[in-house]
Protein backbone atom coordinates (compact mmCIF):
# COMPACT_ATOMS: atom_id res chain seq x y z
CA UNK A 1 0.00 0.00 0.00
CA UNK A 2 1.47 3.33 -1.07
CA UNK A 3 1.81 5.94 1.65
CA UNK A 4 0.00 9.25 1.49
CA UNK A 5 0.33 12.12 3.96
CA UNK A 6 -2.67 14.03 5.25
CA UNK A 7 -2.86 17.75 5.96
CA UNK A 8 -5.70 18.50 8.36
CA UNK A 9 -7.28 21.89 9.00
CA UNK A 10 -8.83 23.79 11.89
CA UNK A 11 -10.07 27.33 12.35
CA UNK A 12 -8.22 28.93 15.26
CA UNK A 13 -10.67 29.68 18.07
CA UNK A 14 -13.54 27.62 16.64
CA UNK A 15 -15.82 26.57 18.23
CA UNK A 16 -13.80 28.10 21.06
CA UNK A 17 -10.14 28.29 22.05
CA UNK A 18 -10.03 25.11 24.15
CA UNK A 19 -12.02 22.99 21.71
CA UNK A 20 -9.90 24.12 18.76
CA UNK A 21 -6.83 23.05 20.74
CA UNK A 22 -8.38 19.64 21.45
CA UNK A 23 -9.37 19.26 17.79
CA UNK A 24 -5.88 20.14 16.61
CA UNK A 25 -4.29 17.54 18.89
CA UNK A 26 -6.82 14.91 17.84
CA UNK A 27 -6.07 15.46 14.15
CA UNK A 28 -2.31 15.38 14.72
CA UNK A 29 -2.29 12.31 16.96
CA UNK A 30 -4.83 10.67 14.67
CA UNK A 31 -2.16 10.50 11.99
CA UNK A 32 -2.06 13.79 10.11
CA UNK A 33 1.45 14.67 8.95
CA UNK A 34 0.58 18.36 8.63
CA UNK A 35 -1.90 20.62 10.39
CA UNK A 36 -3.08 23.85 8.81
CA UNK A 37 -4.27 26.34 11.44
CA UNK A 38 -6.36 29.04 9.82
CA UNK A 39 -6.30 32.49 11.37
CA UNK A 40 -9.80 33.84 10.67
CA UNK A 41 -10.27 36.87 8.45
CA UNK A 42 -13.54 38.77 8.01
CA UNK A 43 -13.48 38.73 4.20
CA UNK A 44 -11.84 35.51 2.92
CA UNK A 45 -11.76 35.12 -0.85
CA UNK A 46 -11.03 31.40 -1.27
CA UNK A 47 -13.26 29.88 1.40
CA UNK A 48 -16.70 28.36 1.07
CA UNK A 49 -19.65 28.67 3.43
CA UNK A 50 -18.49 26.09 5.98
CA UNK A 51 -15.16 27.77 6.64
CA UNK A 52 -16.56 31.31 6.33
CA UNK A 53 -19.17 30.59 9.01
CA UNK A 54 -16.56 29.10 11.33
CA UNK A 55 -14.32 32.14 10.83
CA UNK A 56 -17.20 34.47 11.65
CA UNK A 57 -17.99 32.56 14.84
CA UNK A 58 -14.36 32.65 15.95
CA UNK A 59 -14.16 36.40 15.32
CA UNK A 60 -17.40 36.98 17.26
CA UNK A 61 -15.81 35.17 20.21
CA UNK A 62 -12.95 37.67 20.12
CA UNK A 63 -10.29 35.92 18.05
CA UNK A 64 -7.24 38.02 17.33
CA UNK A 65 -3.80 37.27 15.96
CA UNK A 66 -2.13 37.10 19.37
CA UNK A 67 -4.67 34.46 20.46
CA UNK A 68 -3.86 32.59 17.26
CA UNK A 69 -0.21 32.47 18.19
CA UNK A 70 -1.10 31.41 21.74
CA UNK A 71 -3.05 28.51 20.23
CA UNK A 72 -0.17 27.55 17.95
CA UNK A 73 2.24 27.62 20.90
CA UNK A 74 -0.09 25.42 22.95
CA UNK A 75 -0.46 22.92 20.08
CA UNK A 76 3.29 22.85 19.49
CA UNK A 77 4.03 22.24 23.17
CA UNK A 78 1.51 19.40 23.40
CA UNK A 79 2.84 17.79 20.21
CA UNK A 80 6.37 17.83 21.62
CA UNK A 81 5.16 16.32 24.88
CA UNK A 82 3.55 13.48 22.94
CA UNK A 83 6.50 12.93 20.62
CA UNK A 84 4.30 13.84 17.66
CA UNK A 85 6.07 15.12 14.54
CA UNK A 86 3.06 16.75 12.83
CA UNK A 87 4.20 19.93 11.11
CA UNK A 88 2.25 23.13 11.78
CA UNK A 89 1.28 25.68 9.14
CA UNK A 90 -0.58 28.96 9.41
CA UNK A 91 -3.10 29.64 6.66
CA UNK A 92 -4.47 33.17 6.51
CA UNK A 93 -4.86 36.26 4.33
CA UNK A 94 -2.59 39.20 3.62
CA UNK A 95 -4.56 41.72 5.68
CA UNK A 96 -3.79 39.77 8.86
CA UNK A 97 -0.06 40.01 8.13
CA UNK A 98 -0.26 43.70 7.19
CA UNK A 99 -2.17 44.62 10.36
CA UNK A 100 0.29 42.76 12.58
CA UNK A 101 3.37 43.79 10.61
CA UNK A 102 4.76 41.19 8.19
CA UNK A 103 8.14 40.78 9.88
CA UNK A 104 6.60 40.75 13.36
CA UNK A 105 4.13 38.10 12.20
CA UNK A 106 6.86 35.93 10.71
CA UNK A 107 9.08 36.24 13.79
CA UNK A 108 6.21 35.25 16.10
CA UNK A 109 5.23 32.39 13.80
CA UNK A 110 8.73 30.95 13.88
CA UNK A 111 8.96 31.30 17.66
CA UNK A 112 5.58 29.58 18.02
CA UNK A 113 6.69 26.41 16.25
CA UNK A 114 5.31 27.01 12.77
CA UNK A 115 7.24 25.63 9.82
CA UNK A 116 5.29 27.15 6.90
CA UNK A 117 2.69 29.67 5.77
CA UNK A 118 -0.08 29.54 3.18
CA UNK A 119 -1.33 33.00 2.21
CA UNK A 120 -3.54 32.62 -0.89
CA UNK A 121 -3.85 36.31 -1.76
CA UNK A 122 -0.12 37.08 -1.59
CA UNK A 123 1.18 35.27 -4.64
CA UNK A 124 4.49 35.69 -6.42
CA UNK A 125 5.14 39.19 -7.82
CA UNK A 126 2.37 40.50 -5.53
CA UNK A 127 3.64 39.01 -2.30
CA UNK A 128 4.93 42.13 -0.51
CA UNK A 129 8.29 40.31 -0.36
CA UNK A 130 6.75 37.51 1.70
CA UNK A 131 8.65 34.68 -0.02
CA UNK A 132 12.02 36.31 0.71
CA UNK A 133 11.09 37.43 4.23
CA UNK A 134 9.76 34.00 5.18
CA UNK A 135 13.07 32.47 4.13
CA UNK A 136 14.90 35.09 6.22
CA UNK A 137 12.99 33.95 9.31
CA UNK A 138 13.49 30.24 8.58
CA UNK A 139 9.93 29.64 7.41
CA UNK A 140 8.58 28.09 4.23
CA UNK A 141 6.02 30.01 2.17
CA UNK A 142 3.89 27.58 0.19
CA UNK A 143 2.88 28.58 -3.33
CA UNK A 144 -0.55 27.74 -4.75
CA UNK A 145 -1.08 26.40 -8.27
CA UNK A 146 -4.50 26.52 -9.93
CA UNK A 147 -5.93 24.75 -13.00
CA UNK A 148 -5.27 27.71 -15.30
CA UNK A 149 -1.70 28.31 -14.14
CA UNK A 150 0.60 28.27 -17.18
CA UNK A 151 3.61 25.94 -17.33
CA UNK A 152 6.10 28.81 -17.09
CA UNK A 153 4.28 30.18 -14.05
CA UNK A 154 4.23 26.74 -12.44
CA UNK A 155 8.02 26.60 -12.77
CA UNK A 156 8.40 30.08 -11.22
CA UNK A 157 6.10 29.28 -8.31
CA UNK A 158 7.70 25.89 -7.72
CA UNK A 159 11.14 27.47 -7.50
CA UNK A 160 10.00 29.99 -4.87
CA UNK A 161 7.76 27.64 -2.87
CA UNK A 162 8.81 25.73 0.19
CA UNK A 163 9.31 21.95 0.22
CA UNK A 164 6.01 21.38 -1.56
CA UNK A 165 3.40 23.22 -3.61
CA UNK A 166 -0.31 23.40 -2.89
CA UNK A 167 -2.23 22.34 -5.99
CA UNK A 168 -5.82 23.58 -6.09
CA UNK A 169 -7.85 20.66 -7.48
CA UNK A 170 -10.48 22.82 -9.18
CA UNK A 171 -11.53 26.40 -9.72
CA UNK A 172 -13.93 27.97 -7.25
CA UNK A 173 -14.04 28.02 -3.46
CA UNK A 174 -13.55 25.41 -0.76
CA UNK A 175 -16.28 23.07 0.39
CA UNK A 176 -17.71 21.45 -2.73
CA UNK A 177 -16.71 17.84 -3.37
CA UNK A 178 -14.03 17.27 -6.00
CA UNK A 179 -14.42 14.24 -8.23
CA UNK A 180 -11.29 12.21 -8.96
CA UNK A 181 -11.75 12.29 -12.74
CA UNK A 182 -9.42 11.58 -15.67
CA UNK A 183 -9.33 15.35 -16.20
CA UNK A 184 -8.08 15.94 -12.67
CA UNK A 185 -5.44 13.23 -13.04
CA UNK A 186 -4.31 14.77 -16.35
CA UNK A 187 -4.04 18.16 -14.64
CA UNK A 188 -1.91 16.66 -11.87
CA UNK A 189 0.37 15.03 -14.45
CA UNK A 190 0.69 18.37 -16.23
CA UNK A 191 1.80 20.01 -12.99
CA UNK A 192 4.31 17.23 -12.33
CA UNK A 193 6.01 17.90 -15.68
CA UNK A 194 6.82 21.47 -14.62
CA UNK A 195 7.20 20.90 -10.88
CA UNK A 196 10.08 19.16 -9.12
CA UNK A 197 8.61 19.39 -5.61
CA UNK A 198 6.02 17.39 -3.73
CA UNK A 199 2.38 18.13 -4.45
CA UNK A 200 -0.25 18.75 -1.79
CA UNK A 201 -3.66 18.43 -3.45
CA UNK A 202 -6.56 20.29 -1.87
CA UNK A 203 -10.03 21.80 -2.44
CA UNK A 204 -12.89 19.35 -2.13
CA UNK A 205 -11.07 16.29 -0.81
CA UNK A 206 -13.47 14.95 1.81
CA UNK A 207 -13.42 11.17 2.15
CA UNK A 208 -11.24 8.12 2.64
CA UNK A 209 -12.38 6.91 -0.81
CA UNK A 210 -10.92 10.02 -2.42
CA UNK A 211 -7.72 9.60 -0.43
CA UNK A 212 -7.51 5.97 -1.56
CA UNK A 213 -7.93 7.03 -5.19
CA UNK A 214 -5.05 9.50 -4.80
CA UNK A 215 -2.56 7.07 -3.24
CA UNK A 216 0.41 6.89 -5.57
CA UNK A 217 -0.83 9.96 -7.46
CA UNK A 218 0.12 12.71 -4.99
CA UNK A 219 2.19 12.46 -1.80
CA UNK A 220 -0.01 14.83 0.26
CA UNK A 221 -3.77 15.42 0.39
CA UNK A 222 -5.34 18.42 2.10
CA UNK A 223 -8.69 18.07 3.84
CA UNK A 224 -10.11 21.36 5.08
CA UNK A 225 -13.85 21.90 4.96
CA UNK A 226 -14.62 18.29 5.91
CA UNK A 227 -12.71 18.73 9.18
CA UNK A 228 -14.38 22.06 9.93
CA UNK A 229 -17.81 20.61 9.11
CA UNK A 230 -17.17 17.64 11.39
CA UNK A 231 -16.05 19.95 14.20
CA UNK A 232 -19.23 22.02 13.76
CA UNK A 233 -21.39 18.94 14.33
CA UNK A 234 -19.80 17.87 17.61
CA UNK A 235 -21.64 18.70 20.82
CA UNK A 236 -19.53 20.97 23.02
CA UNK A 237 -19.86 18.50 25.89
CA UNK A 238 -17.91 15.90 23.88
CA UNK A 239 -14.17 15.28 24.00
CA UNK A 240 -12.98 16.95 20.80
CA UNK A 241 -9.60 15.25 21.01
CA UNK A 242 -11.09 11.75 20.89
CA UNK A 243 -13.68 12.71 18.27
CA UNK A 244 -11.12 14.20 15.87
CA UNK A 245 -8.56 11.50 16.50
CA UNK A 246 -11.10 8.84 15.51
CA UNK A 247 -12.29 10.83 12.48
CA UNK A 248 -8.72 11.28 11.23
CA UNK A 249 -7.94 7.60 11.64
CA UNK A 250 -11.05 6.71 9.62
CA UNK A 251 -9.95 8.99 6.80
CA UNK A 252 -6.51 7.39 6.65
CA UNK A 253 -7.71 3.80 6.98
CA UNK A 254 -6.80 1.97 3.76
Residue 203's pLDDT band, with cuts at 50, 70 and 90, is: confident
Q: Is the pLDDT of residue 222 over 80?
A: yes
Report the chain's mean pLDDT, rounded to a whole number.
92
User: Read out DSSP for the chain?
Assistant: ----EEEEEEETTSS-HHHHHHHHHHHHHTT-SEEEEEPP-SS-SS--HHHHHHHHHHHHTT--HHHHHHHHHHHHHHHHHTT--PEEEEE--HHHHHHH-HHHHHHHHHHHT--EEE-TTS-TTSSTTHHHHHHHTT-EE--EE-TT--HHHHHHHHHHS-SEEEEESSSS-TTSPPP--HHHHHHHHHHHHH--SEEEEESS--SHHHHHHHTTT-SEEE--HHHHHHHHHS-TTS-HHHHHHHHHHHHH--
Query: What mean pLDDT do residues 55-80 have?
Result: 97
Model confidence at 87, in pLDDT bands (50, 70, 90)?
very high
Spot the catalytic one: 36, 127, 140, 243.
36
Q: Which tens digits make up the pLDDT trace of 122-176?
A: 988 889 999 999 999 999 999 999 888 889 999 999 999 999 999 998 655 454 5
Do 35 and 90 form a contact (C-beta atoms < 8 A)?
no
Q: Percent of the chain scored above 90 by pLDDT?
A: 81
Q: What is the mean pLDDT of residues 217-224?
A: 96
What's the rounded mean pLDDT across residues 58-77?
A: 97
Q: May I ask the CATH architecture of the domain 5-141+210-252?
A: Alpha-Beta Barrel (3.20)
Higher pLDDT, 173 or 109: 109
Does the annotation mark 70 as catalytic? no
User: Does the annotation mark 209 as catalytic?
Assistant: no
Read off the pLDDT of each residue in 69-90 and give the average, rounded to a whole number: 98
Q: What is the mean pLDDT of residues 16-31?
A: 98
Out of 3, 22, 43, 47, the active site residue is: 47
- What are the residue ranges spanned by the domains of the chain? 5-141+210-252
Lowest pLDDT segment from 1-5, 158-162, 225-229:
1-5
- Looking at residue 101, what is its pLDDT? 97
Distance CA 112, CA 87 (A): 12
Amino acid sequence: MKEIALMGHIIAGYPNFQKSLEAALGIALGGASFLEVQFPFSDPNADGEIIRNACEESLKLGFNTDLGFELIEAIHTKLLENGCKTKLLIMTYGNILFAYGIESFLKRAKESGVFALIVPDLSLQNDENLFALAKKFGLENIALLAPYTHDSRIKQLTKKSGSFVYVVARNGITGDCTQITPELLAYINKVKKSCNKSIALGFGIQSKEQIAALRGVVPIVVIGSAFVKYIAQIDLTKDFFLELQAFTKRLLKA
